[in-house]
Structure 1
């Protein structure tokens, strides 16, 4: 049996951390960039070690090159978190635009389906969001990752609170 209070407690903490993240989105974005840089650096060192130690027998050169690239990206993000945050914002914006265009194309191919309007709306909103970010890139680039992370924490926290309350009411 799962303790519902644990789920509600975790959800409340996530929700509060989401509010904190939204309260200072620039610091949150920089923290995300430094954390991601640390993970890239660790992964790069691990791949270089695997390539040099002989753990990897196939594609050793590829492993070494990818390890060096990962290490360089990680060091770059840690040493220059502002530039790293802008780079990550560009990447996220590109993914938003690409996924929106793909959904619009999928909607066009599914014109006779019941999913047409949902896909069309989803794709259009995503493309508009990406366009808005591009149009205001100088103003939003340092805070976008923090805003997205804060919203993610708020939504996940609310979901866990709801899950905990569901468990309390249904005693699974």
Structure 2
């Protein structure tokens, strides 16, 4: 158990390092994530096509072939044009932030629930991020996705490190309690 938790902590440290490097080189992180995304689409499409071919007799054969073909086509487009893909995904992210921000703002004012202030701040923050991304678009596509990707790596790594360290402490506490509560062998009588 200690070894598994140590590996979890080591993986977390690698993710933190990757996130920090990605935050320094956001353009490279954006292009890397787009190419990785393209390859995942391509490989997923090929696996889906093989699976569809294995199910030739089922009712879902053509649906499987169409979905696999779309994944393969999208993967090829993303790999060949990572800049354009980053621009499109950045626009999509900005629109998601805008619509989410507006819905949170309106929802917090209409509902006025117990989390009114927090929901209002979340809505305003989402709206602000969406406006800032759109104001610099398409130039913002060079760093937005890489920044988000790197922050995700950083926080996932920090979470793994925290779980690994806390898990090791818990295991050592539990093993210490078990050792002290373990029945002691009876003493052999001395003659």
TM-score range, shorter chain: 0.7 to 0.9
Q: What residue is the counterpart of 2:187 in the other structure?
A: none
Q: What residue is the counterpart of 2:154 in the other structure?
A: 154
Structure 1: gaps of 5 or more residues: none
Is the CA contact (8 Å cut-off) linking 1:100 and 1:127 kept in structure 2? yes
Taking only aligned residues, the RMSD between alpha carbons, in angstroms, comes to 2.2
Q: Which has the higher contact order (CA 8 A, sep 6+)?
A: 1
Post-superposition Cα deviations, 1:8-55, rounded to whole Å, max 9, x if no partner, equal 322222111111111111111111111111111122223334444544
Q: What residue is the counterpart of 1:61 in the other structure?
A: 62
Is the CA contact (8 Å cut-off) linking 1:50 and 1:56 kept in structure 2? no
Rg comparison, structure with higher value: 2
Secondary structure of 2:58's match? coil
How many pairs align?
171
Secondary structure of 1:137's match? coil
Report how far residue 155 of structure 1 moved. Answer: 1.6
Calculate the TM-score normalised by the size of structure 1: 0.85
Report how far residue 122 of structure 1 moved. Answer: 0.8
CA distance in 2, matches of 1:50, 1:105: 45
Runs of 4+ in 1 over 6 A off after TM superposition: none
